[in-house]
Amino acid sequence: MILPILIHPDPRLKTRTTPVTEVTDELRRLADDMLETMYDAPGIGLAAPQVGVMSRMLVMDCVKDEETPARPMVLINPEVVATSEETSIFDEGCLSIPEQYAEVERPAEVDVRWTGLDGKTHEEHFSGLWATCVQHEIDHLDGKLFIDYLSPMKRQIITRKMQKLKRERARA
């Protein structure tokens, strides 16, 4: 089922999420719905608070090449356990801040540990777009948006555009 995606500003997008204590069938259904919503949007990552669920879970799939099989991932209670000193800059966007992009500097590589839908602990080294995406989505779980890395003026301009978009959608 495709879920509605919250649009900034929304207080839920600025709220730190609660750790998941148990992998349940309900959580597995939410993960499936989040993946379907992300692919439909289309996006490469989606965090639970973006669909109004205040739990520490995210989904992502950064495979862009049509020849390469999709790699949907579900990360429960993810945490960055190591970062590279080297940084990279990506032009980031967000499904909760549609059609707005800005360059954000983050560590170029990260090691992340999380619980999978199988209830087991997983750890993986991410680089490139995958590293940027997983950090962006973990930020969502901590109530942080990519625009929080921008200057106050740029952040305010984007926030005003989103307020206008929300008013237009409410009228439609």
The residue annotated as part of the active site, out of 26, 36, 66, 137, is: 137
Kindly give the pairing relationship between strand 121-127 and strand 97-107: unpaired
Nearest CA among 97, 138, 141 for reference residue 9:
97
The b/e string for 159-171 (b: 16+ C-beta within 10 A; e otherwise) is beebeebeeeeee
d(CA 95, CA 85): 28
Annotation marks residue 86 as catalytic: no
Helix/strand/coil for 12: helix
Beta carbons of 27 and 76 less than 8 angstroms apart: yes
Three-point CA angle 38, 44, 45, nearest 5°: 70
Question: Which residues are part of the catalytic machinery?
Answer: 137
